[in-house]
Structure 1
Amino acid sequence: MTVERIISRRGVVCGGGAAVAVVSNFSAARAWGQALSRSDATFGRGSYVNGQMFGLQPSTVKDQSHALQAAIDQTAAKGLTLSLTAGTYLVAGIVLRPGVRIEGQAGATVLGYAGGGTFVTAAGAHGARLSGLVFDGQQLPLERARVSGLLQIAEATDLVIDDCMVRRSIADGIVLQRCAGRVTRTTVSMVKGSAIFSLDADVTAGAIEIANCRIQDAADNGILIWRSRDGVDGSRVTASTIERISNVSGGSGQYGNGVNVYRAHGVSVMQCRIFDCSYSAVRGNAASNFQVLGNQAAGIGEVALYAEFGFQGAMIANNIVDGAACGIAVTNFDVGGRLAVVQGNLIRNLVRREAEPVDKRGEGIAVEADAAVSGNVIEAAPTAGLLIGWGKHMRNVVAMGNLIRNARIGIAVTATVGAGQCLVGQNIISGARDGAIRAMEHAVPVGDELAGMARYRHIVLEGNVVS
């Protein structure tokens, strides 16, 4: 007996070929379980089973949690794929099993949260596959002592969430704890916390890949790649669109970011489009060997691309930033932030936040220590095109081959006693209103124009062109 025959008859076939009517969710599940266990039934692993065989009825107002859980338990045990037809299924407290495979009609198969505590959770659900499903939290309360997201999955490897939608969560959208796998072609929107949160990704199993996703209207953050303590992570965020990220919870950068990487080393963010974020498009905090490559960012409230605090190693290259308080910042040498390449970026239309008491910005690129800044194009920076060092916090910076246009100060270099060496060479600076190259005491220019002169032993100037 084949799965296809059972599905086509829309009933459960028990011995002798007699059709058994589905009289309730429980009886359907029991009958289907008997069919699965019959020794004369043959099922190819990966075959599809329609959820209606378990009594699941699309677009009914009743809670179908028990029927869906039974379907998950039995199909996962047999290596079958559970297929859910278009419609809305009200469920809660669903637990995914190892090897579970659930497929729906993309955008039309809706699992609606029925309330009562948790929506979809898993622990150790290795090999789980979810595709073509809409997870709708309906803005109903979650039991926050147990979960922080609509989908909360722990300790699962080879996990796949593909072509899904997650929406209307009063907390986070997707929470992955100690997992490895991929989230692809998935939209997460209208969440009161963060859209996707990966904590302590399983490095040995390949970490987390988030690709071709769309993140919209998150109250606090878009994508979080975090670790509980410093360590290699290696997760990747690629080719995704992230927009309208607020910072409802406040703070000075903990919230309001398109992608936030914390303590996780070896993470890359590539070829993403990130718009309208309250703080940063991409923010790495204590994230070493951090790569930010080929992204587009616009409408960013603070620093668009940020490597801060105790990191060692950042590659920020080939990005476009149009509209931010600062295009790129590689800072916090005072607490160990160092070692960076900032290359080939296009940064324009910076703004000053005059309402801020101190942190006004208006800078194209800001760096501090052990950094090479080359081949960047910066236009329209109301404070400085390139800011090198802050107070005594500057060491071994090379700024060569950059083009800076229409900045108040073209290149601003710290002149504070104790600052390290800096080489500024072969840059073109055009239309700098208050000087092409100026020495600085923190935010205050000191002395006259430096272009073509060597007034400070720690600042080496060579071959710059000013117009």
Structure 2
Amino acid sequence: MLAGIATLAIVAPAAAQSQFDAASLGIVADSGKDLTTALQRALDSTAATGQTLRLPAGRLVAANLVFPSNLIVEGVPGRTELIAASGGFIGKIAGASDIVLRDIAFLGASDAGDDALLSIDASDAITLERCSCSRGSTGLSISESAATIRDCRFTDLADAAIHSMNSRGLVIAGNRIERCGNAGIRVWRSANGADGSIITGNHIAKIDWAKGGNGQNGNGINVFRADEVIIANNHIADCAFTAVRLNSTNNTQISGNTCLRSGEVGIFSEFAFSGSIIANNIVDGAAGGISMTNFDSGGQLAVCTGNIVRNIMPTSPVNPDSTPYGIFAEADAAITGNTVQKVPGTGIGAGAGPYLRNVIIASNVISTTVIGVAVSVVDGAGKVHIADNLISDSGIAIAGMAWRDVVEPDLATNAARYPNVTVGN
């Protein structure tokens, strides 16, 4: 037993020396001085010795820091602020690996430009934990990198909380994102390719569309050309356009999200998408609930199941061309087992003119709508099968459409007139 105690006595001092105290290196918080040189020296020394750099509580002013590989930097939870010096960004990680930043608040300068507060480029095994970003254009800009961003907070950013281009697989989990000018989380690629990012358990709210446009801004989560992305169990509210917007993606899953008060479409899979699963989400309040469209651009292949869509608005405050609907699809889609309620338009729709192919609408519960189910019956429209739906409190139960016009108000009875339609039960 005495030998064991002796061993602990030898090991304990070595463990205590595994951290650098920044104050011992001349880094004094709340001095108001530009500490860039001292902080860079501390980062380099810490990484070279494989130790952890402990930052003091208070405000530290710096700009253009470079974080080297094999580094852990920790602040005092809720008390360490790293503030960008005038006209500069705070720091970057480039061509590095094995970096952990923890319990640090990154704050932009009052005259911050378009640079991200922190950029990560061509790097792997990068982790941010319990950090925050505010008062800048973008919180994190990530390019050609693999990173984990968890339990962080992003607020009051002019553009986006997290903007990623050509990532190597991100994990974005458990973060709070509020009051961003154009986007919450963007996962984009310059060309379609495997991305594999996982976005889960985040709270996202109050996303504006300061740069305007017809959907490229104003989204809580926006995935563009990035394939194999999973978006699950997020709470997303008050986005100017869309809670979750996919554009030209492949093999993407959207599941278990709560999407509240979207200005346009709650969940949107658009343009040349292929292979979207949209399951077990709640969409409450939007101009359109769930949309899987743009067959004319190659958009096809979707499963929409187990969702609740309700309280659709009669008009969109950001898109005057919107018409209200609960769920809408065009090509190679299964719409099954959903519940749609209170839509001042179509509960579930399939096809726009000839842009319809192989859609099934089955076993859904639809109530309080103008039209329960509406499908295209124009020449050239593809096959649609409607079966086993429970429709109530709807002015028209099942309608045949020519674009936006009702041409067959009783499609259930008269389906035989339209070769592309079958109706059962």
- CA shift, 1:214, in A, is 0.6
The residue that corresponds to 2:157 in the other structure is 191
What residue identity is the alignment partner of 2:89? T
Tell me by how many angstroms 1:53 deviates.
1.4
Deviation at 1:367, TM superposition (A): 0.2
- 1:125 aligns with 96
Deviates more, 1:447-456 or 1:227-236: 447-456
Alignment of 1:138-217 (within 5 A): 138-142=109-113, 144=114, 148-169=115-136, 171-202=137-168, 207-217=169-179
Q: Deviations over 1:232-261 (max 9, x none)?
A: 100010000000000000000000000000
Q: What's the offset of the Cα at 1:355?
A: 6.9
Q: Report the 3-state secondary structure (helix = DSSP H, G, I; strand = E; otherwise coil) of the residue aligned with 2:412.
A: coil
Are positions 1:107 and 2:68 aligned together?
Answer: no
Deviation at 1:105, TM superposition (A): 1.6
State the SS of the aligned residue for 2:341. strand
CA contact (8 A) 2:254 2:279 kept: yes
Q: Specify the code of the residue in structure 2 equivalent to 1:194.
A: A
Distance in structure 1 (CA, Å) of the matches to 2:408 and 2:319: 25
Partners of 1:93 and 1:121 within 8 A in 2: yes
Counterpart of 2:106 in structure 1 is 135
Partner of 1:315 in structure 2? 277
Letter in 2 for 1:49: F
Shift of 1:352: 2.1
Shift of 1:359: 1.8
**Structure 2 Cα separation of the partners of residues 233 and 197 of structure 1:** 14
| CA shift digits 1:96-130 (9 cap, x unpaired) | 11112100122210001112333211211211110
Instruction: Specify the code of the residue in structure 2 equivalent to 1:267.
Output: V
SS in 2 for 1:60: coil
Which letter maps to 2:116?
G
CA shift for structure 1 position 45: 11
Partner of 2:267: 305
For the structure 1 residues 236 and 139, does the alpha-carbon distance in structure 2 shift closer, same or farther, using more than 3 Å as the test?
farther
Query: What whole-Å deviation, never above 9, does each CA across 1:201-246 have from its counterpart, x for those lacking one?
Result: 12xxxx1000000110000000000111111100010000000000
User: 2:8 — aligned with what?
Assistant: none
CA separation of 1:358 and 1:393: change in aligned 2, threshold 3 A: farther
Relative to structure 1, the CA distance from residue 453 to residue 282 in structure 2 (aligned partners, 3 Å threshold; closer, same or farther) is: same
> Are 1:396 and 2:358 counterparts?
yes
Letter in 1 for 2:329: V
Instruction: Quote how far apart the aligned CAs of 1:49 are.
Output: 1.3
Q: Given residue 332 of structure 1, which amino acid in structure 2 is its aligned partner? A: N
Q: What is the identity, as a one-letter code, of the residue corresponding to 2:149?
A: V
Unpaired runs of at least 5, structure 1: 1-41
The SS at the match of 2:28 is: coil
In 1, distance between residues paired with 2:176 and 2:99? 21
Q: Would you tell me which structure has more strand in proportion to its own residues?
A: 2
Q: Give the alignment of 1:81-92 within 5 angstroms.
A: 81-92=52-63
Partners of 1:176 and 1:199 within 8 A in 2:
yes
Task: Tell whether 2:403 aligns with 1:442.
Answer: yes
Q: Output the CA distance in 2 between the equivalents of 1:356 and 1:226.
A: 23
Q: Deviation per CA, 1:340-381, whole angstroms, max 9, x where unpaired?
A: 000000000001227778522210000000000000000011
CA distance in 2, matches of 1:221, 1:456: 44
| Contact 1:415–1:456 under 8 Å retained in 2 | yes
CA contact (8 A) 1:160 1:183 kept: yes
Q: Deviations over 1:262-314 (max 9, x none)?
A: 00000111000000000000000001111100000101001110100001100
Does residue 215 of structure 2 align to residue 253 of structure 1? yes
Counterpart contact for 1:46–1:81, Cα < 8 Å: no
For 2:257, which of 295, 302, 308 is the aligned residue? Answer: 295
Q: Partners of 2:17 and 2:279 in 1: how far apart?
A: 43
- Aligned residue for 2:327? 365
Instruction: Report the Cα distance in structure 2 between the residues aligned to 1:43 and 1:216, rounded to whole angstroms.
Output: 43
What are the Cα deviations for residues 48-83 of structure 1, in whole angstroms up to 9, with x where unaligned?
211111111111111111111110000011111101
Residue 79 of structure 1, aligned match among 27, 31, 50: 50
The residue type equivalent to 2:400 in the other structure is: A
- For the residues of structure 2 that align with 1:344 and 1:78, how far apart are their CA atoms? 53
Distance in 2, Cα, partners of 1:361 & 1:278: 16
Deviates more, 1:276-285 or 1:453-462: 453-462
Task: For residues 173-211 of structure 1, give each alpha carbon's deviation from its aligned partner in whole angstroms, at most 9, with x where no partner exists.
Answer: 100111102000000110111110111012xxxx10000
CA RMSD in angstroms, aligned pairs only: 1.5
8 Å CA contact 1:226–1:263 kept in 2: the answer is yes
**AA matched with 2:152:** T
Could you tell me how far apart the structure 2 residues matched to 1:139 and 1:457 are?
Answer: 65
Instruction: Indicate the residue corresponding to 2:195 in structure 1.
Output: 233
Separation of aligned partners in 2, 1:46 and 1:366: 61
Match of 2:37 among 41, 66, 82: 66
Q: Contact 2:240 / 2:318 at 8 angstroms: preserved in 1?
A: no
Unaligned runs of 5+ in 2: 1-12
**Would the aligned equivalents of 1:84 and 1:103 in 2 still touch at CA under 8 Å?**
yes
Query: 1:43: Cα distance to partner?
Result: 6.0
TM-aligned CA deviation for residue 138 of structure 1 = 3.5
Work out the number of aligned pairs and report it: 412
Q: Which residue does 2:7 correspond to in 1?
A: none
Q: Distance in 2 between matches of 1:140 and 1:172?
A: 14
Q: Note closer, same or farther for the CA distance 1:369–1:45 as it changes in structure 2 (3 Å cut).
A: farther
Matched, 1:377 2:339: yes
Query: In the TM superposition, what whole-angstrom CA distance separates every residue of 1:112-164 from its partner, at most 9, and x where no partner exists?
Result: 1112333211211211110000001133223x5xxx31101101100000100
2:40 paired with 1:53: no
After TM superposition, the score normalised by the length of structure 1 is: 0.86
- Paired residue type of 2:91: V
Q: What's the secondary structure of 1:300's corresponding residue?
A: coil
